[in-house]
Every structure is written in structure tokens, then in C-alpha cells.
Structure 1
């Protein structure tokens, strides 16, 4: 019996066990297969089948200099979709700059280094399904700068009208965005930004007059900056590394926002408090000296989206996987640029592979993109 003669039920069971990218490739084999895979029933079954598996994810590094752009994926996963993502990212033009991500969607911007032409064109791309949507060009009236102000501007494009709108968002006095806060963190239908003082500001993209704010956690050191802000296990998290000179050791703390609701509720809980000197490497003894002596203030890259005990750090040309529960740190992968030299020309993006890809209005990517 050939595959063409298989009953729909049996064919469906076979397709359920294929990797996500292979499923989408199968849609191109026949109209029957495409129709079967496109049904809500198949999507529900496929997501339920993968429900017990953790979502694979990777960190995307992009660094540019006067000559070229270097893009690297930091992952130890064997997921075929992530391997495909690596090939896709490396093929992208050097005229595109990776701006942000949301789960499996990437936001790219066409590079524009000219002073007389501030026009920018953005693209929303799903590299797994190869779906792409070009956003209308927008002229930004200013270049990036860091100031303390009582308000900031937010530009939002509507997927329905395909038009940009500008909103002015009021913020608390002294609210200064962190160096990594240009990319908002989506959470519970709001977009959140973090300040250097550990305060959060969230806005509703459909109604920018609707805002939420949270003060910094108890125990936050006001003279130290925010080191990381993101989502882990469905909760907002914030991290700060502070220096206690009397102990000659950095203290790493992570707080998690719980009891969040639409009525204004939400409270910070301290999840981890670890002295950097306590972190040891069992596989790479040379790391112990680097972590404890040469680099008392490691760079925090990201939270693990699924494991609340895992944090990603950077030292020299290495990404480190830090387990805060076992107080261990190991080399995760290499990176091409020393974190000590990073500036606004380097970007770190989380890419989380969901059980089912996020659909977007699209035209297939051209020229093998």
C-alpha cells in the first residue's frame, strides 16, 4: 500500500510523529496532505502530542563592525528546526539587522547608516515556516540616545490597517531604560520595559493609555543597574548582580513576579541569591579562577525559558550555562566577540520554538532566504 492510499486517520498518526519543519514540507507534497495538515484538528493533536516536551530554544548573537556582520546561534539542541534556523540566519544579508524576537518570530530592519535618509523598513519573519511580512516604511525623527525623561515615544504598526501610529507614554520620574530595553518583553497582552532601577512599565499596544507599573523588588540595590529582564516559565523575571566589597564577591539575585492579574495585582519573590564565588565548574577547572577572581561581575545574557534554575552568562569568548541550584557553571558554547567590547553594535535575541509555529500574513521568502 502506498502513502497515497493510506486512510486519513493512519496518515495523520504518521504525520504527528514528524519534526515540525518536516510537517510543513509535507504540505507541499499534495493537496490532500496540505488540507489534512491545515485543519484545526491536526494542529490540536500535534500540539497535544508535544505538550510534554520542553520548548527548544536558542540564543542568537549578532555583532557588526565596519567590515561585516557575525551571527552565531548558541545552542546544544539537536532539534532539526534549530539547525535550519542556523542556516537561515547565516544566509541573511548584511544589510539586515536583527532587532527583536517573540517566540518563533524575528524582527529584522534594513540597515540605514546614512544621515540624510532615516527611513527604516522592518520585516516580520518566521524562519521555520519561511513566512514573511514587510511592514510599511517608517521615518524615525531621531537617533538612539539615552536620557532620563517623563515620557517616551512608542511607534506601533497595525496588521489590520498597515499603518504606523505614534503614542507618547508617561513614565515615572527618573525612569531610565536599561541598555537592553529597546526590545520590549511581551507578557499577558502587554509590552513591558525595565528601568535601571528595577522598575517595570507595561503598556497595552491597542490602548497606550492603559499602563501597568511595578516598583523594584525588596532588596534591590538602587545604585546598581538591572542585568537581565525576561520571561521564565510564564513569569516575568529580573536579575541584578551587586558587589559586596567586604566579602570580595558578587551576589547574583533573581526575582520573579507572581500573583499577577488584570486588576493591578503582582508581587516580587526572591527566587535565587547566590554568591558568584560559590559557582564551580566540574568539567573545566580553569573556569573557577576566571569566575571567582578575574570576572567578579559576569555578563548576564538570558534566562532559560523553561528551567528556573538555569541562567546564561558570558565571560571572554564563552557562553556559560549556570545552574543556580547546584551552583555549577559550565561552558555552553563559544562566541566570536569578547563581551567586554560589546556595545550597541551587538545584539542578543531569544528564539523559542513553540509546539506549533506562529502564523503571519505572508509571502514566501525569496532568493532562498
Structure 2
């Protein structure tokens, strides 16, 4: 059996880690790979490469309601967050932020990837549903006084799918003269994202979360009245000087193709995935009545749910599901494949022994009704084995 045949017989429910590349993206990448020119060259070959980049920039901008000139391509969401979360991110003619406030449930690329001194960073708590404490934010913005604050709040959580009140946070931040960034990596391509409606000053996205190539991402600025004074990668003048180095034309072209496809089917796909998500969640509740579905009463992404069954450890469960042909996750897939305690669940106050067993199901453009049925069948086997062990140990 070939690797391709083996993969085709499996159920892939880990789209929040990475979503399989769409066929139209593969075509765009191949087309761009065959272009011989450097996009910075003025000859015809260079202009063709430049056209691929600028066409993709327009498509990515459209996905998040931005102006094309305000999209800066990066190697992914992590680099994008690292680039913008700096005291050097500022309005033209103004000083940058002296302090950084970040949500307790943010992705590690925000919690660990920012460029502020340790003593200048404060963590915004979340409630038991994982939702940002806006009262805390408002109070601490007042306490900051004249010091300008940069706030980073994710649009949707990668582990639980919980959506954050970003527009409300932006209003509070701007009332105090601060700046706000949102990590929209999990939201873009799954729910409508409009940078103006959100009221944020910058957002970051990643192509491989909605069927684009790995290694493609972007910082999107709200207007050309913002700048990032201290750049990460210095050298030439590519990306208006924000990111030096010859552009990865193939990845950028694929990113654009994925953005175009995701936007075209956004509303219908959200409805379809929500129905499949709810069906899978209902199956878990039938099979294991004592299951905890994390933040089930919060507004979540239509494709995501996280659950824990008392007595079932995540590492054991992941192996069991994998052997049954189902790919799941225990949370973020950004820790070198390690299964470890989730800082998100800790911030939410989930009981530690339960937190150690939380699994994430994340659906995507390849997910079908048959996948959900087979997932439920695998659940019955895994849970049935657990209950048999409990009974024999009693």
C-alpha cells in the first residue's frame, strides 16, 4: 500500500494544526515554481514573478477586508506576530507602545514571540469559557495612565475554537490611545474577518490553516498610517522594507489561491462545518455521557470542539485514535509533537486531571459526513475499552 493510499483511508480531523492543500493551490504553486525570474528584476521574467505576488496580495487583502498595499507577506503566523508585536509598531509620528497586554489563552507565538521587555508585559485573564476579561482590560488601561499600551487578543482560540470580543476590546484600547493587534490565524478563512469592522490596527494570518502552503503568512495593517520601525529580517527593500530577502513566490501564489477559494465559499462552508461539528459533538455525548465539551456555551469557530472524558489521557487516546485511522490533536501542534499540559486550559481553570485528557477535533474543507460517522465509530471503540478497564479495576 502506498503512502497516498494509506492516507486516503484515514480520517483527518486536525485542520487547526494544518489544513490539506487545496487542488487550486497546488496548481498555483506549480505555476509559480516554473517562473524563472526574480520578482525584483525589471525584465519580463521578473515582472511575471512580481505579478504573481501582487495578485496574491490582492486576494489576501480581500479575505480580511484590507487595502492591498497594507499586506506584508511573511513565512507564517509566528513570524508575523513576532514582527508586529514590538515597541516599534506605531502610528506615523507617534511613539510606540511602552507596555504590552496579552490574553492568557494566546498562542505561544504571541506569549513568547513578542519583543517587549519581560517587565513591560501583563497577562489579561480569561474566564472559565476562555473569554477575555474586558473589565480587567479596561481597569488596567486606566492604570497605565499616559503610557501607551499595545494589546494583543486572538480572534479565535486554536485549541478550543472560542471567539474573543475583539471589537469591544479595540474600542476600550483606542479610548485610551493604545494600539491593538489580533491573531486571526484560526479565524481567517473560517469566519468573516474584516479589519475595519474589528477596529484593530493590525492582524496576522497564516495560509496553511485554510488550505494554503505551509510557510506562508502575513501582517495586515489597518492603514498606511502605521509602521513597524524595527524589522526582523533586514537587508534589501522587499515588502516595502518590512521583510528583506527574495520572496517565496510559489508559497505566496498558493497563499493567494487559498484565500480566494476560502472567501468564495465562506458562508456555505461555515454552515456545513457547524452541522458536522455539532453531529460529532452529539455523538461523543451519546457515547460518553460524562464527557466535558470545553466551552460548549461560548461562541466558537464552526469547525472546532475540544472534549475530555474522565479517566482518558490525551497521549493514550491520540495513539488509540491514530491506530483506528483518525487524526486528532491534543491542542496546539506547535510543540515538536509533544503532548503537554495546555496553558489555555490552565487559564480557564479546567481541573488538571481533566485538562490532561482534552482532545481537539477540527474539521475543514476535506471533511465529509462519512468522516464524522467513522470518527463516532472510533470513539465507541476507544471509550468502550476505557469503560471495560474501569469495570475490571472496580
Give the TM bin, normalised by the shorter chain: under 0.3
Higher strand share: 1
Higher relative CO (Cα under 8 Å, sequence separation at least 6) belongs to 2
Q: With structure 2 as the length reference, what TM-score do the two structures score?
A: 0.26
